[in-house]
Structure 1
Amino acid sequence: MTPKLSIIQRRRFCTQGHLLNPIVSIGKAGLTKSVLEEIDRGLLSHELIKIKVHLDNRDIRKSMLETICQDLNAAPIQQIGKIFVIYRQKPEDADPKKIEKINTQGKKREPRRTKRSYQN
């Protein structure tokens, strides 16, 4: 069951999604379990995400979008070519520490300061 959105909400999410960069890329292997988990993590931390698909068949891409939305209880916002924009509201019982951990997993540390930076 996918959540129903009003036209106004869908338009607002379309404009917000236009500015996003894809955070998940689906390759030739298709929709695997690990890809679904990554999409779920992205929806948990961002609510609105953009997905890039590297397949040429339109029917497969359309069925892939439907599968993602059904499995993750998300709403499809927009599909333009090989780009999907999907939305899922954050659950109220989401643990903020868990979300913070997800957001900081891929971040790099700050570069070390040089001797000259201490002299200024």
Structure 2
Amino acid sequence: MPITLSPRQRQHLKGLAHPLEPVVHVGAAGVSEAVVRVLGETLLRHELIKVKLPKLDDASAREALANEITLASGAALVQLLGRVLILYTPRAKDLPGKPRIQLPAA
């Protein structure tokens, strides 16, 4: 089931992501099995990440790539700004430890 965020929650996550650096870089080859695996592992550890997209001439191609990454990772799209994509996945309840990010009420 896809994660849905309210505008208030999305704004909160944008503020938390502002100081972060991209931890996953997608190359010119696009979304491969290795990229999806790394995205999953990184989202499990961090919950909120930035992804750097390759240089594309067309904004619609960038949006299509962002949607493909979002669907493949199962994360919520927080923001796509230029070549930087912000993704969020809440920590699974069966993992040890509490979620690091507490979202405001919708």
TM tier relative to shorter chain: 0.7 to 0.9
**Alignment CA distance shift 1:5-1:61 (3 Å):** same
User: What TM-score results when the alignment is normalised by the length of structure 2?
Assistant: 0.83
More relative contact order, 1 or 2 (CA 8 Å, 6+ apart): 2
**Alignment CA distance shift 1:95-1:33 (3 Å):** farther
Partner of 1:69: helix, strand, or coil? helix
**1:35 counterpart residue number:** 35
Task: Tell me, yes or no, if the aligned pair for 1:2 and 1:69 is still in contact at 8 Å.
Answer: no
Q: Percent identity?
A: 30
Question: What is the RMSD computed on CA atoms of the aligned residues?
Answer: 1.4
> How is 1:37-76 mapped onto 2 (pairs within 5 angstroms)?
37-56=37-56, 57-76=58-77
**Matched positions, count:** 96
Aligned-partner Cα distance in 2 for 1:72–1:54: 17
Structure 2: tracts of 5 or more residues without a match: 98-106
User: What TM-score results when the alignment is normalised by the length of structure 1?
Assistant: 0.74
Aligned-partner Cα distance in 1 for 2:72–2:30: 15
In the TM superposition, what is the alpha-carbon distance from 1:95 to its structure 2 partner? 5.2
**1:90 counterpart residue number:** 91
Structure 1: tracts of 5 or more residues without a match: 97-120
Larger fraction in helix:
1
